[in-house]
Structure 1
Amino acid sequence: MTLVATLIANESRPAITDAVLAEARAVMATEHQPRILNGEIAAELLIPGEAAAAPALARRLRAAFAAEPFDVAVLPVGRHRRKRLFLADMDSTMIEQECIDELAETIGLRERVSAITERAMRGEIAFEPALRERVALLADLPLAAIEGLIRDRITLTPGALTLVRTLKAHGVHTCLVSGGFTLFAGPIAAAIGFDEAHATTLGVRDGRLTGTVEEPIVGRETKRATLIALRSRFGLDPAETLAVGDGANDLDMLAEAGLGVAFRAKPKVAAAARVQVDHGDLTALLYLQGFAASEFVTAA
Protein backbone atom coordinates (compact mmCIF):
# COMPACT_ATOMS: atom_id res chain seq x y z
CA MET A 1 0.00 0.00 0.00
CA THR A 2 1.15 3.52 -0.81
CA LEU A 3 -0.14 6.65 0.87
CA VAL A 4 -0.29 10.19 -0.49
CA ALA A 5 0.16 13.37 1.53
CA THR A 6 -1.60 16.38 0.01
CA LEU A 7 -0.84 19.97 0.99
CA ILE A 8 -3.42 22.58 -0.04
CA ALA A 9 -3.31 26.36 0.38
CA ASN A 10 -5.81 29.00 -0.66
CA GLU A 11 -5.40 30.57 -4.08
CA SER A 12 -5.39 33.99 -2.40
CA ARG A 13 -2.45 32.98 -0.20
CA PRO A 14 -0.03 30.57 -1.92
CA ALA A 15 2.13 28.83 0.67
CA ILE A 16 3.35 25.47 -0.64
CA THR A 17 6.94 26.56 -1.29
CA ASP A 18 9.98 24.43 -2.10
CA ALA A 19 11.08 24.82 1.53
CA VAL A 20 7.71 23.56 2.76
CA LEU A 21 7.88 20.55 0.47
CA ALA A 22 11.41 19.75 1.57
CA GLU A 23 10.31 19.84 5.20
CA ALA A 24 7.27 17.71 4.43
CA ARG A 25 9.47 15.09 2.79
CA ALA A 26 11.65 15.03 5.89
CA VAL A 27 8.69 14.77 8.25
CA MET A 28 7.17 11.95 6.20
CA ALA A 29 10.55 10.27 5.65
CA THR A 30 9.89 9.82 1.94
CA GLU A 31 12.36 9.86 -0.93
CA HIS A 32 9.64 10.53 -3.50
CA GLN A 33 9.76 13.87 -5.27
CA PRO A 34 6.66 16.05 -4.87
CA ARG A 35 4.06 16.29 -7.61
CA ILE A 36 2.99 19.90 -8.09
CA LEU A 37 -0.76 20.15 -8.61
CA ASN A 38 -0.98 23.94 -8.81
CA GLY A 39 2.02 26.20 -8.33
CA GLU A 40 2.41 27.06 -4.64
CA ILE A 41 -1.25 26.24 -3.97
CA ALA A 42 -1.28 22.44 -3.97
CA ALA A 43 1.15 19.54 -4.12
CA GLU A 44 1.34 15.90 -3.10
CA LEU A 45 3.94 13.41 -1.88
CA LEU A 46 3.90 9.63 -2.07
CA ILE A 47 4.65 7.85 1.21
CA PRO A 48 5.28 4.11 1.56
CA GLY A 49 2.97 2.75 4.23
CA GLU A 50 -0.22 0.96 5.11
CA ALA A 51 -3.67 2.56 5.25
CA ALA A 52 -3.81 2.08 9.02
CA ALA A 53 -0.86 4.45 9.40
CA ALA A 54 -2.56 7.34 7.56
CA PRO A 55 -4.29 9.02 10.54
CA ALA A 56 -1.10 9.11 12.63
CA LEU A 57 0.93 10.42 9.71
CA ALA A 58 -1.67 13.11 9.05
CA ARG A 59 -1.48 14.23 12.67
CA ARG A 60 2.31 14.35 12.47
CA LEU A 61 2.25 16.43 9.30
CA ARG A 62 -0.47 18.71 10.68
CA ALA A 63 1.56 19.29 13.86
CA ALA A 64 4.68 20.14 11.86
CA PHE A 65 2.82 22.85 9.94
CA ALA A 66 0.32 23.96 12.57
CA ALA A 67 1.17 27.62 12.13
CA GLU A 68 1.05 27.56 8.33
CA PRO A 69 -1.93 28.66 6.19
CA PHE A 70 -2.57 25.39 4.41
CA ASP A 71 -4.40 22.10 4.91
CA VAL A 72 -2.82 18.66 4.95
CA ALA A 73 -4.23 15.18 4.44
CA VAL A 74 -2.78 11.69 4.24
CA LEU A 75 -4.85 9.14 2.35
CA PRO A 76 -4.38 5.77 0.66
CA VAL A 77 -3.66 5.70 -3.04
CA GLY A 78 -5.92 3.11 -4.59
CA ARG A 79 -7.98 2.42 -7.67
CA HIS A 80 -10.88 4.37 -6.17
CA ARG A 81 -8.95 7.54 -5.41
CA ARG A 82 -11.06 9.43 -7.94
CA LYS A 83 -14.67 9.15 -6.84
CA ARG A 84 -17.83 8.45 -8.83
CA LEU A 85 -20.49 9.83 -6.47
CA PHE A 86 -20.43 13.21 -4.71
CA LEU A 87 -22.82 14.46 -2.02
CA ALA A 88 -22.61 17.97 -0.61
CA ASP A 89 -24.26 19.96 2.11
CA MET A 90 -25.56 23.35 0.99
CA ASP A 91 -25.55 25.99 3.76
CA SER A 92 -22.06 27.17 4.77
CA THR A 93 -20.60 24.58 2.40
CA MET A 94 -21.61 25.05 -1.24
CA ILE A 95 -22.92 28.53 -0.39
CA GLU A 96 -21.44 30.95 2.12
CA GLN A 97 -24.66 31.65 4.03
CA GLU A 98 -27.18 29.85 6.25
CA CYS A 99 -30.41 30.39 4.34
CA ILE A 100 -32.67 30.31 7.39
CA ASP A 101 -30.59 33.01 9.08
CA GLU A 102 -30.89 35.20 5.99
CA LEU A 103 -34.66 34.71 5.99
CA ALA A 104 -34.82 35.63 9.67
CA GLU A 105 -32.97 38.87 9.01
CA THR A 106 -35.77 40.05 6.74
CA ILE A 107 -38.10 40.11 9.76
CA GLY A 108 -35.55 41.31 12.32
CA LEU A 109 -34.93 37.91 13.98
CA ARG A 110 -31.48 37.05 12.68
CA GLU A 111 -29.74 37.11 16.06
CA ARG A 112 -32.32 34.86 17.68
CA VAL A 113 -32.44 32.37 14.81
CA SER A 114 -28.70 32.28 14.12
CA ALA A 115 -28.01 31.43 17.76
CA ILE A 116 -30.21 28.34 17.42
CA THR A 117 -28.58 27.50 14.06
CA GLU A 118 -25.11 27.66 15.58
CA ARG A 119 -26.03 25.35 18.46
CA ALA A 120 -27.63 22.84 16.08
CA MET A 121 -24.65 22.84 13.73
CA ARG A 122 -22.30 22.30 16.66
CA GLY A 123 -24.35 19.31 17.73
CA GLU A 124 -25.36 20.88 21.03
CA ILE A 125 -29.09 20.43 20.32
CA ALA A 126 -30.99 18.03 18.06
CA PHE A 127 -31.30 19.25 14.47
CA GLU A 128 -34.98 18.46 13.77
CA PRO A 129 -36.63 20.25 16.73
CA ALA A 130 -34.23 23.16 16.27
CA LEU A 131 -35.31 23.46 12.65
CA ARG A 132 -39.02 23.38 13.53
CA GLU A 133 -38.46 26.05 16.20
CA ARG A 134 -36.73 28.36 13.74
CA VAL A 135 -39.20 27.81 10.91
CA ALA A 136 -42.13 28.62 13.22
CA LEU A 137 -40.67 32.10 13.61
CA LEU A 138 -40.93 32.63 9.84
CA ALA A 139 -44.70 32.19 9.61
CA ASP A 140 -46.40 34.56 7.14
CA LEU A 141 -43.17 35.47 5.33
CA PRO A 142 -43.94 35.99 1.61
CA LEU A 143 -42.29 33.69 -0.94
CA ALA A 144 -41.06 36.77 -2.78
CA ALA A 145 -38.60 37.27 0.06
CA ILE A 146 -36.89 33.96 -0.82
CA GLU A 147 -36.57 34.89 -4.48
CA GLY A 148 -35.00 38.20 -3.48
CA LEU A 149 -32.54 36.54 -1.09
CA ILE A 150 -31.33 34.07 -3.69
CA ARG A 151 -30.83 36.92 -6.13
CA ASP A 152 -29.27 39.48 -3.81
CA ARG A 153 -27.74 37.77 -0.77
CA ILE A 154 -26.73 34.19 -1.51
CA THR A 155 -23.16 33.71 -2.75
CA LEU A 156 -21.48 30.52 -3.89
CA THR A 157 -18.46 29.35 -1.94
CA PRO A 158 -15.24 29.87 -3.93
CA GLY A 159 -14.44 26.77 -5.93
CA ALA A 160 -18.03 25.45 -5.92
CA LEU A 161 -18.61 25.77 -9.67
CA THR A 162 -15.19 24.40 -10.62
CA LEU A 163 -15.59 21.46 -8.24
CA VAL A 164 -18.94 20.32 -9.60
CA ARG A 165 -18.13 21.02 -13.24
CA THR A 166 -14.87 19.08 -13.03
CA LEU A 167 -16.44 16.12 -11.27
CA LYS A 168 -19.29 15.95 -13.79
CA ALA A 169 -16.83 16.16 -16.69
CA HIS A 170 -15.23 13.01 -15.26
CA GLY A 171 -18.50 11.13 -15.00
CA VAL A 172 -19.29 11.73 -11.33
CA HIS A 173 -22.94 11.85 -10.21
CA THR A 174 -23.49 14.90 -8.02
CA CYS A 175 -26.16 15.45 -5.37
CA LEU A 176 -26.90 18.46 -3.17
CA VAL A 177 -28.39 17.19 0.10
CA SER A 178 -29.49 19.84 2.56
CA GLY A 179 -31.26 20.20 5.87
CA GLY A 180 -32.29 23.54 4.39
CA PHE A 181 -35.19 24.11 2.09
CA THR A 182 -36.20 23.03 -1.41
CA LEU A 183 -37.10 26.64 -2.23
CA PHE A 184 -33.39 27.44 -1.95
CA ALA A 185 -31.83 24.08 -2.80
CA GLY A 186 -33.58 23.74 -6.17
CA PRO A 187 -32.35 27.03 -7.68
CA ILE A 188 -28.91 26.76 -6.05
CA ALA A 189 -28.38 23.18 -7.22
CA ALA A 190 -29.37 24.24 -10.75
CA ALA A 191 -27.04 27.24 -10.67
CA ILE A 192 -24.07 25.11 -9.59
CA GLY A 193 -24.94 22.22 -11.88
CA PHE A 194 -25.80 19.38 -9.50
CA ASP A 195 -27.55 16.38 -11.02
CA GLU A 196 -30.12 16.28 -8.23
CA ALA A 197 -31.03 17.88 -4.92
CA HIS A 198 -32.74 16.73 -1.72
CA ALA A 199 -33.90 19.16 0.96
CA THR A 200 -36.65 19.89 3.45
CA THR A 201 -39.97 21.27 2.17
CA LEU A 202 -41.46 24.34 3.82
CA GLY A 203 -45.19 24.68 4.32
CA VAL A 204 -46.69 27.27 1.98
CA ARG A 205 -50.21 28.68 1.71
CA ASP A 206 -51.43 31.63 -0.38
CA GLY A 207 -47.89 32.63 -1.32
CA ARG A 208 -46.65 32.77 2.27
CA LEU A 209 -44.79 30.46 4.64
CA THR A 210 -47.00 28.69 7.18
CA GLY A 211 -44.24 28.34 9.77
CA THR A 212 -44.22 24.55 9.39
CA VAL A 213 -42.13 21.95 7.58
CA GLU A 214 -43.30 18.87 5.74
CA GLU A 215 -41.93 15.52 6.90
CA PRO A 216 -39.43 14.08 6.53
CA ILE A 217 -36.86 16.65 7.55
CA VAL A 218 -33.54 16.06 5.82
CA GLY A 219 -31.36 15.50 8.89
CA ARG A 220 -28.26 13.43 9.54
CA GLU A 221 -29.99 10.05 9.09
CA THR A 222 -31.62 11.11 5.82
CA LYS A 223 -28.34 12.43 4.44
CA ARG A 224 -26.62 9.12 5.16
CA ALA A 225 -29.55 7.18 3.71
CA THR A 226 -29.41 9.28 0.53
CA LEU A 227 -25.73 8.43 0.08
CA ILE A 228 -26.41 4.72 0.58
CA ALA A 229 -29.37 4.77 -1.83
CA LEU A 230 -27.39 6.52 -4.56
CA ARG A 231 -24.42 4.23 -4.04
CA SER A 232 -26.73 1.26 -4.46
CA ARG A 233 -28.44 2.78 -7.51
CA PHE A 234 -25.14 3.14 -9.34
CA GLY A 235 -23.62 -0.10 -8.04
CA LEU A 236 -20.64 1.64 -6.47
CA ASP A 237 -18.09 0.48 -3.96
CA PRO A 238 -18.25 2.54 -0.73
CA ALA A 239 -14.72 3.75 -1.49
CA GLU A 240 -16.00 5.44 -4.65
CA THR A 241 -18.05 8.02 -2.74
CA LEU A 242 -17.18 11.54 -1.60
CA ALA A 243 -19.10 13.80 0.78
CA VAL A 244 -18.55 17.27 2.19
CA GLY A 245 -20.24 19.26 4.95
CA ASP A 246 -19.70 21.50 7.94
CA GLY A 247 -22.36 20.75 10.56
CA ALA A 248 -23.36 18.04 13.00
CA ASN A 249 -26.18 16.90 10.72
CA ASP A 250 -23.48 15.95 8.18
CA LEU A 251 -21.60 13.60 10.51
CA ASP A 252 -23.27 10.34 9.45
CA MET A 253 -22.94 11.17 5.75
CA LEU A 254 -19.25 12.00 6.14
CA ALA A 255 -18.62 8.79 8.07
CA GLU A 256 -20.42 6.69 5.44
CA ALA A 257 -18.53 8.17 2.48
CA GLY A 258 -15.33 6.65 1.17
CA LEU A 259 -13.88 10.12 1.69
CA GLY A 260 -15.69 12.47 4.05
CA VAL A 261 -14.39 16.04 4.16
CA ALA A 262 -15.19 18.58 6.89
CA PHE A 263 -15.17 21.96 5.15
CA ARG A 264 -14.56 24.94 7.48
CA ALA A 265 -16.51 22.87 9.91
CA LYS A 266 -17.67 23.07 13.50
CA PRO A 267 -15.15 21.57 15.98
CA LYS A 268 -17.14 18.37 16.59
CA VAL A 269 -17.37 17.72 12.85
CA ALA A 270 -13.74 18.54 12.13
CA ALA A 271 -12.61 16.19 14.89
CA ALA A 272 -14.64 13.30 13.48
CA ALA A 273 -13.94 13.69 9.76
CA ARG A 274 -11.13 11.95 7.96
CA VAL A 275 -10.03 15.17 6.27
CA GLN A 276 -10.43 18.79 7.35
CA VAL A 277 -10.26 21.75 4.95
CA ASP A 278 -9.95 25.09 6.73
CA HIS A 279 -7.75 27.13 4.39
CA GLY A 280 -8.41 25.92 0.86
CA ASP A 281 -11.55 26.55 -1.14
CA LEU A 282 -13.78 23.80 -2.52
CA THR A 283 -11.27 22.87 -5.22
CA ALA A 284 -9.40 21.23 -2.33
CA LEU A 285 -11.70 18.25 -2.90
CA LEU A 286 -10.24 17.91 -6.40
CA TYR A 287 -6.64 18.09 -5.23
CA LEU A 288 -7.42 15.38 -2.65
CA GLN A 289 -8.37 13.10 -5.55
CA GLY A 290 -5.15 13.83 -7.41
CA PHE A 291 -6.52 16.33 -9.91
CA ALA A 292 -4.06 18.96 -11.10
CA ALA A 293 -5.31 22.48 -11.80
CA SER A 294 -4.73 21.86 -15.53
CA GLU A 295 -7.58 19.30 -15.38
CA PHE A 296 -10.11 21.68 -13.82
CA VAL A 297 -13.21 22.62 -15.76
CA THR A 298 -13.86 26.28 -15.07
CA ALA A 299 -16.50 27.08 -17.67
CA ALA A 300 -19.88 25.49 -18.33
Structure 2
Amino acid sequence: MSLVPTSLVATLISHPDRPAVDGTVLSRAAEVLASPGQPVMLAPGVAADIACAADTTAAKIEERLRQALAGVAVDVVVQEAEGRRKHLFLADMDSTMIGQECIDELADFVGAKAMVAEITERAMRGEIAFEPALRERVALLKGLPEGVADEVIRERLTLTSGGPALVATMRANGAYTALVSGGFTLFTAKIGAMIGFDEHHSNLLLVKDGHLTGEVAEPILGKEAKRANLERLRQVRGLTASDTMAVGDGANDLAMLGEAGLGVAYRAKPAVAAAARMRVEHGDLTALLYAQGYRAENFA
Protein backbone atom coordinates (compact mmCIF):
# COMPACT_ATOMS: atom_id res chain seq x y z
CA MET A 1 0.00 0.00 0.00
CA SER A 2 1.35 3.43 -0.96
CA LEU A 3 1.87 5.93 1.84
CA VAL A 4 1.92 8.83 -0.62
CA PRO A 5 -1.26 10.99 -0.46
CA THR A 6 -3.24 10.89 -3.71
CA SER A 7 -4.65 14.44 -3.66
CA LEU A 8 -2.32 17.32 -2.86
CA VAL A 9 -2.36 21.08 -3.00
CA ALA A 10 0.70 23.26 -3.51
CA THR A 11 0.48 26.74 -1.99
CA LEU A 12 2.75 29.55 -3.18
CA ILE A 13 3.05 32.50 -0.79
CA SER A 14 4.85 35.84 -0.95
CA HIS A 15 4.97 38.80 1.42
CA PRO A 16 1.82 40.97 1.15
CA ASP A 17 4.01 44.07 0.85
CA ARG A 18 6.04 42.47 -1.95
CA PRO A 19 3.65 40.46 -4.15
CA ALA A 20 5.52 37.93 -6.27
CA VAL A 21 2.98 35.26 -7.24
CA ASP A 22 2.38 36.31 -10.84
CA GLY A 23 1.58 34.45 -14.04
CA THR A 24 5.21 33.57 -14.69
CA VAL A 25 5.67 32.11 -11.23
CA LEU A 26 2.45 30.10 -11.51
CA SER A 27 3.51 28.73 -14.91
CA ARG A 28 6.95 27.74 -13.64
CA ALA A 29 5.35 25.98 -10.70
CA ALA A 30 2.80 24.14 -12.83
CA GLU A 31 5.58 22.80 -15.06
CA VAL A 32 7.04 20.72 -12.20
CA LEU A 33 3.73 19.52 -10.74
CA ALA A 34 1.94 16.32 -11.79
CA SER A 35 -1.50 16.94 -13.31
CA PRO A 36 -1.72 20.54 -12.04
CA GLY A 37 -5.12 22.16 -11.76
CA GLN A 38 -5.92 25.77 -12.51
CA PRO A 39 -4.40 28.13 -9.91
CA VAL A 40 -6.80 29.43 -7.27
CA MET A 41 -5.79 32.90 -6.09
CA LEU A 42 -6.04 33.31 -2.32
CA ALA A 43 -4.84 36.90 -2.57
CA PRO A 44 -4.02 38.58 -5.91
CA GLY A 45 -0.26 38.53 -6.45
CA VAL A 46 0.37 37.29 -2.92
CA ALA A 47 -0.76 33.65 -2.59
CA ALA A 48 -2.25 30.87 -4.69
CA ASP A 49 -3.20 27.20 -4.47
CA ILE A 50 -2.50 24.69 -7.24
CA ALA A 51 -4.06 21.24 -6.90
CA CYS A 52 -1.82 18.44 -8.09
CA ALA A 53 -1.33 14.69 -8.11
CA ALA A 54 1.18 12.94 -5.91
CA ASP A 55 3.87 11.45 -8.10
CA THR A 56 6.19 11.37 -5.07
CA THR A 57 6.19 12.65 -1.49
CA ALA A 58 5.04 16.15 -0.59
CA ALA A 59 8.53 17.03 0.64
CA LYS A 60 10.11 16.06 -2.69
CA ILE A 61 7.51 18.04 -4.62
CA GLU A 62 8.26 21.06 -2.43
CA GLU A 63 11.94 20.75 -3.25
CA ARG A 64 11.14 20.62 -6.97
CA LEU A 65 9.10 23.79 -6.58
CA ARG A 66 11.87 25.59 -4.70
CA GLN A 67 14.34 24.70 -7.44
CA ALA A 68 11.92 25.83 -10.16
CA LEU A 69 11.32 29.12 -8.34
CA ALA A 70 14.92 29.76 -7.28
CA GLY A 71 15.57 33.47 -6.92
CA VAL A 72 11.88 34.32 -6.42
CA ALA A 73 10.76 35.51 -2.97
CA VAL A 74 8.05 32.86 -2.64
CA ASP A 75 7.47 30.28 0.10
CA VAL A 76 5.98 26.91 -0.83
CA VAL A 77 4.15 24.21 1.05
CA VAL A 78 2.66 21.00 -0.36
CA GLN A 79 0.18 19.03 1.70
CA GLU A 80 -2.91 16.87 1.51
CA ALA A 81 -5.89 18.79 0.23
CA GLU A 82 -8.10 17.50 3.04
CA GLY A 83 -7.66 18.60 6.65
CA ARG A 84 -5.73 21.83 6.02
CA ARG A 85 -7.77 23.90 8.47
CA LYS A 86 -6.32 23.58 11.96
CA HIS A 87 -8.24 23.75 15.24
CA LEU A 88 -5.35 24.30 17.67
CA PHE A 89 -2.50 26.77 17.20
CA LEU A 90 0.58 27.18 19.41
CA ALA A 91 3.18 29.88 18.83
CA ASP A 92 6.57 30.86 20.13
CA MET A 93 6.87 34.54 21.08
CA ASP A 94 10.41 35.94 20.72
CA SER A 95 11.54 36.40 17.09
CA THR A 96 8.28 34.79 16.00
CA MET A 97 5.16 36.64 17.17
CA ILE A 98 7.36 39.64 18.00
CA GLY A 99 10.48 40.79 16.20
CA GLN A 100 12.81 40.87 19.20
CA GLU A 101 14.25 38.70 21.97
CA CYS A 102 12.90 40.10 25.25
CA ILE A 103 15.82 38.92 27.36
CA ASP A 104 18.30 40.67 25.06
CA GLU A 105 16.39 43.94 25.47
CA LEU A 106 16.33 43.54 29.26
CA ALA A 107 20.07 42.91 29.24
CA ASP A 108 20.60 46.25 27.50
CA PHE A 109 19.58 47.97 30.73
CA VAL A 110 22.57 46.43 32.52
CA GLY A 111 25.00 46.93 29.64
CA ALA A 112 25.10 43.23 28.75
CA LYS A 113 23.03 43.09 25.56
CA ALA A 114 25.86 41.93 23.28
CA MET A 115 26.90 39.16 25.67
CA VAL A 116 23.35 37.96 26.28
CA ALA A 117 22.40 38.16 22.59
CA GLU A 118 25.34 35.90 21.72
CA ILE A 119 24.21 33.31 24.29
CA THR A 120 20.61 33.60 23.03
CA GLU A 121 21.71 33.02 19.44
CA ARG A 122 23.74 29.95 20.38
CA ALA A 123 20.85 28.51 22.40
CA MET A 124 18.36 29.11 19.58
CA ARG A 125 20.72 27.40 17.13
CA GLY A 126 20.87 24.41 19.46
CA GLU A 127 24.60 24.78 20.09
CA ILE A 128 24.11 24.96 23.88
CA ALA A 129 21.35 23.62 26.14
CA PHE A 130 18.45 26.02 26.62
CA GLU A 131 17.88 25.68 30.39
CA PRO A 132 21.42 26.45 31.68
CA ALA A 133 21.75 29.19 29.06
CA LEU A 134 18.57 30.80 30.38
CA ARG A 135 19.77 30.66 33.99
CA GLU A 136 23.09 32.22 32.96
CA ARG A 137 21.38 35.10 31.17
CA VAL A 138 18.79 35.73 33.88
CA ALA A 139 21.55 35.99 36.50
CA LEU A 140 22.85 39.07 34.67
CA LEU A 141 19.50 40.80 35.16
CA LYS A 142 19.73 40.85 38.95
CA GLY A 143 18.66 44.17 40.43
CA LEU A 144 16.61 45.42 37.48
CA PRO A 145 13.29 46.98 38.54
CA GLU A 146 10.31 44.77 37.68
CA GLY A 147 8.65 47.66 35.84
CA VAL A 148 11.37 47.74 33.19
CA ALA A 149 9.43 45.06 31.31
CA ASP A 150 6.63 47.56 30.64
CA GLU A 151 9.17 50.00 29.20
CA VAL A 152 10.58 47.28 26.93
CA ILE A 153 7.08 46.41 25.68
CA ARG A 154 6.20 50.06 25.12
CA GLU A 155 9.42 51.27 23.55
CA ARG A 156 11.29 48.31 22.03
CA LEU A 157 8.99 45.51 20.94
CA THR A 158 7.15 45.22 17.63
CA LEU A 159 4.48 42.70 16.71
CA THR A 160 5.37 40.59 13.69
CA SER A 161 3.41 41.50 10.56
CA GLY A 162 0.36 39.30 10.11
CA GLY A 163 0.35 37.92 13.65
CA PRO A 164 -2.83 39.56 14.94
CA ALA A 165 -4.70 38.65 11.73
CA LEU A 166 -3.49 35.05 12.01
CA VAL A 167 -4.72 34.61 15.58
CA ALA A 168 -7.97 36.53 15.07
CA THR A 169 -8.87 34.60 11.91
CA MET A 170 -8.19 31.21 13.46
CA ARG A 171 -10.20 32.09 16.59
CA ALA A 172 -13.05 33.42 14.46
CA ASN A 173 -13.14 30.01 12.78
CA GLY A 174 -13.25 28.06 16.02
CA ALA A 175 -9.56 27.36 16.66
CA TYR A 176 -7.95 27.62 20.10
CA THR A 177 -4.70 29.55 20.40
CA ALA A 178 -1.85 29.55 22.90
CA LEU A 179 1.35 31.57 23.20
CA VAL A 180 4.05 29.21 24.52
CA SER A 181 7.40 30.86 25.19
CA GLY A 182 10.75 30.13 26.76
CA GLY A 183 10.62 33.81 27.73
CA PHE A 184 8.86 35.39 30.68
CA THR A 185 5.33 35.94 31.98
CA LEU A 186 6.13 39.65 32.38
CA PHE A 187 5.96 39.74 28.59
CA THR A 188 3.70 36.88 27.47
CA ALA A 189 0.76 38.09 29.57
CA LYS A 190 0.67 41.46 27.83
CA ILE A 191 1.90 40.42 24.39
CA GLY A 192 -0.53 37.49 24.36
CA ALA A 193 -3.42 39.84 25.18
CA MET A 194 -2.30 42.38 22.55
CA ILE A 195 -2.26 39.73 19.81
CA GLY A 196 -5.40 37.98 21.05
CA PHE A 197 -4.24 34.52 22.22
CA ASP A 198 -6.59 32.46 24.38
CA GLU A 199 -3.83 31.62 26.87
CA HIS A 200 -0.11 31.98 27.47
CA HIS A 201 2.67 29.95 29.11
CA SER A 202 6.25 31.00 29.86
CA ASN A 203 8.84 31.29 32.62
CA LEU A 204 8.50 33.25 35.85
CA LEU A 205 11.24 35.72 36.78
CA LEU A 206 11.60 35.86 40.55
CA VAL A 207 11.09 39.28 42.12
CA LYS A 208 11.87 40.65 45.58
CA ASP A 209 11.04 44.18 46.74
CA GLY A 210 10.12 45.16 43.19
CA HIS A 211 13.44 44.06 41.65
CA LEU A 212 14.56 40.96 39.74
CA THR A 213 16.54 38.53 41.87
CA GLY A 214 18.50 37.14 38.92
CA GLU A 215 16.69 33.81 39.21
CA VAL A 216 13.97 32.05 37.25
CA ALA A 217 11.38 29.76 38.82
CA GLU A 218 11.87 26.04 38.28
CA PRO A 219 11.07 23.98 36.33
CA ILE A 220 12.04 26.00 33.28
CA LEU A 221 9.66 25.95 30.35
CA GLY A 222 11.88 24.65 27.56
CA LYS A 223 11.65 22.35 24.56
CA GLU A 224 9.83 19.44 26.18
CA ALA A 225 7.40 21.70 28.06
CA LYS A 226 6.38 23.33 24.79
CA ARG A 227 5.63 19.94 23.28
CA ALA A 228 3.79 18.89 26.44
CA ASN A 229 1.55 21.95 26.24
CA LEU A 230 0.60 21.06 22.67
CA GLU A 231 -0.22 17.48 23.68
CA ARG A 232 -2.23 18.66 26.71
CA LEU A 233 -4.32 21.15 24.75
CA ARG A 234 -4.88 18.64 21.97
CA GLN A 235 -6.15 16.02 24.41
CA VAL A 236 -8.32 18.47 26.33
CA ARG A 237 -9.99 19.56 23.11
CA GLY A 238 -10.32 16.03 21.71
CA LEU A 239 -8.20 16.73 18.63
CA THR A 240 -5.84 14.63 16.56
CA ALA A 241 -2.28 15.61 15.72
CA SER A 242 -3.34 16.59 12.20
CA ASP A 243 -5.72 19.19 13.68
CA THR A 244 -2.83 21.18 15.14
CA MET A 245 -0.35 23.80 13.96
CA ALA A 246 2.67 25.33 15.69
CA VAL A 247 5.19 28.00 14.72
CA GLY A 248 8.62 28.92 16.06
CA ASP A 249 12.17 29.85 15.12
CA GLY A 250 14.57 28.24 17.60
CA ALA A 251 15.91 24.88 18.68
CA ASN A 252 13.67 24.88 21.76
CA ASP A 253 10.67 24.85 19.38
CA LEU A 254 11.70 21.68 17.54
CA ALA A 255 9.78 19.19 19.70
CA MET A 256 6.61 21.29 19.49
CA LEU A 257 6.93 21.70 15.72
CA GLY A 258 7.53 17.98 15.31
CA GLU A 259 4.44 17.12 17.35
CA ALA A 260 2.13 19.42 15.38
CA GLY A 261 0.26 18.37 12.29
CA LEU A 262 1.79 21.38 10.55
CA GLY A 263 5.01 22.59 12.18
CA VAL A 264 6.12 25.93 10.74
CA ALA A 265 9.62 27.41 10.95
CA TYR A 266 9.34 31.20 10.77
CA ARG A 267 12.56 33.04 9.78
CA ALA A 268 14.15 30.14 11.62
CA LYS A 269 17.63 28.98 12.50
CA PRO A 270 19.01 26.55 9.85
CA ALA A 271 18.50 23.37 11.88
CA VAL A 272 14.91 24.34 12.64
CA ALA A 273 14.12 25.26 9.03
CA ALA A 274 15.55 21.93 7.88
CA ALA A 275 13.43 19.93 10.33
CA ALA A 276 10.09 21.76 10.13
CA ARG A 277 7.25 20.63 7.88
CA MET A 278 6.83 24.16 6.47
CA ARG A 279 9.21 27.09 6.44
CA VAL A 280 8.38 30.75 5.96
CA GLU A 281 11.35 32.74 4.73
CA HIS A 282 9.64 35.42 2.63
CA GLY A 283 6.01 35.87 3.69
CA ASP A 284 4.70 37.29 6.95
CA LEU A 285 2.61 35.35 9.48
CA THR A 286 -0.46 35.42 7.22
CA ALA A 287 1.43 32.71 5.31
CA LEU A 288 0.07 30.32 7.95
CA LEU A 289 -3.46 31.29 6.95
CA TYR A 290 -2.80 30.85 3.23
CA ALA A 291 -1.29 27.43 4.01
CA GLN A 292 -4.67 26.49 5.49
CA GLY A 293 -6.51 27.68 2.39
CA TYR A 294 -7.89 30.93 3.81
CA ARG A 295 -8.44 33.75 1.33
CA ALA A 296 -7.30 37.26 2.22
CA GLU A 297 -10.89 38.50 2.00
CA ASN A 298 -11.83 36.14 4.83
CA PHE A 299 -9.16 37.32 7.28
CA ALA A 300 -10.57 38.62 10.56
1:47 maps to which residue?
52
CA apart distance, 1:70 = 1.1
CA apart distance, 1:276 = 0.5
Q: Match for residue 152 of structure 1?
A: 155
Deviation string, structure 1 residues 181-229 (Cα, Å, up to 9, x no partner): 0000000001111000000001110000000000121100000000000
Determine helix, strand or coil for the equivalent of 1:28: coil
Q: Please point out which of 271, 291, 300 is paired with 1:268.
A: 271
Normalising by structure 1, we get a TM-score of 0.97
What is the deviation of 1:245? 0.2
Task: State yes or no: 1:238 paired with 2:237.
Answer: no
Aligned to 1:203: 206
List gaps (5 residues or longer) in structure 2. 1-5
Q: Which amino acid aligns with 1:74?
A: V
- The match for 1:189 is 192
Q: 1:190 to 1:29 in 2, by over 3 A?
A: same
What are the superposed Cα offsets for residues 240-290 of structure 1, whole Å, 9 maximum, x if unpaired? 000000000000000000000000000000000011101000000000000
* Corresponding position: 1:19 with 2:52: no
Secondary structure of the structure 2 residue equivalent to 1:143: coil
Number of aligned residue pairs: give it.
Answer: 295
Q: Deviations over 1:146-199 (max 9, x none)?
A: 111111111100001100000000000000000000000000001111000000
Whole-Å separation in 2 of the counterparts to 1:240 and 1:86:
9
| Aligned residue in 1 for 2:78 | 74
| Residue range with higher mean Cα deviation, 114-123 or 149-158 | 149-158
How well do the aligned residues superpose, as a CA RMSD in angstroms?
Answer: 0.9
Q: How far apart are the structure 1 equivalents of 2:34 and 2:222?
A: 42
Q: Taking structure 1 as reference, are residues 157 and 48 closer, same or farther at Cα in structure 2, changes over 3 Å only?
A: same
2 CA distance for matches of 1:45 and 1:263? Answer: 23
Identity value in percent: 58
| Equivalent in 248, 251, 254 of residue 251 of structure 1 | 254
Which ranges of structure 1 fall in alignment gaps of 5 or more residues?
Answer: none
Deviation track 1:26-84 (CA, whole Å, cap 9, x = no partner) reads: 1113341000000101001001127x610110111111112111111111111x21000
Among candidates 292, 295, 299, match of residue 295 of structure 2: 292
* CA distance in structure 2 between the partners assigned to 1:183 and 1:64 by the alignment: 45
1:110–1:128 Cα change, 3 Å: same
Q: Tell me how far apart the structure 1 counterparts of residues 202 and 133 of structure 2 sit (CA, whole Å).
A: 16
- Counterpart CA distance in 2 for 1:66 and 1:22 is 14
Instruction: Show the counterpart of 1:216.
Output: 219
Moved over 4 A (4+): none
2 CA distance for matches of 1:219 and 1:31? Answer: 42
